[in-house]
Amino acid sequence: MVTAGMRRYRNRTQLQATLIGPRGSDLLDLDTLFPDAAPKARVRLELGFGHGEFISALAKAHPEDRLIGVEQDDLRVTKTAHRCIKDGVANVRLFAGEAHGFVRFRLRPASIHRIYVLFPDPWPKLGHRRRRLLTRSVLLDLSHAAAPGCRLVMASDTHEYVFQCLSNLSTLGGLWRNLYQPAGYRIDIPTRFPTLFERHKKAEGCRIAYLSMERTDAPPPPRAPWPVRPGPQPAGQRTL
């Protein structure tokens, strides 16, 4: 269901479109995406940016960095572009699409310096948990895209999901260093740019769990082949 407030984002302005990256499965050319950025500027990635509060505030705080956001909902992509323009930031490029395919096919190896996955859909029912984003396969693909020293930050009010993510990361031996020792996670720490969902959950009295991991310089292992989707596809073409 599309709310009345979101209907206005069905039509995208030319100015909003300047912050929205092209669809497809080609590797990103960061110099083309960010022509005004320094060649070695850090790249920050947010998977599932929702209504855009976090990525816009982060971009404003770090104008020297390049920020990439991926979101499934096309209306939210336009809304976040609107928010970024309103906040006066231009160092953001937003993409509509499925996050795992984006990570696998569009990010170059060792190109990302910060990764944020904040309050991903928890799919709390046992039969639905296979739909969660932070599977071992996705985390392995992120390990390929992450540069040595890259920080991975995850937050959720569903603590079981946080522990599942931590367990999946532990199977990628030597690739990630846990920065929240000795417990491996933190509860209700102060955050610099809280999202709308985070504020709502804290107002409800929910406790928030956080992970912070750092990519080591260990080479990642090979990945399993990308699953072939049913139905005819042109030779060599991937569907994202």
Q: Residue 141 — φ and ψ, nearest 5°?
A: -65, -40
How many angstroms separate the CA atoms of 57 and 35, rounded?
A: 21
Considering 74, 121, 157, 188, which one is annotated as catalytic?
A: 121
Instruction: Quote the tokens at residue 131.
Output: 């739909």
87 is catalytic: no
What does each C-alpha distance from 162 to 42, 53, 107, 203 come to in angstroms? Answer: 26, 22, 24, 20
C-alpha closest to that of 151 among 198, 114, 192 = 114
Sign of the dihedral defined by the CA atoms of residues 179, 114, 23, 52, in that order:
positive
Instruction: List active site positions.
Output: 121
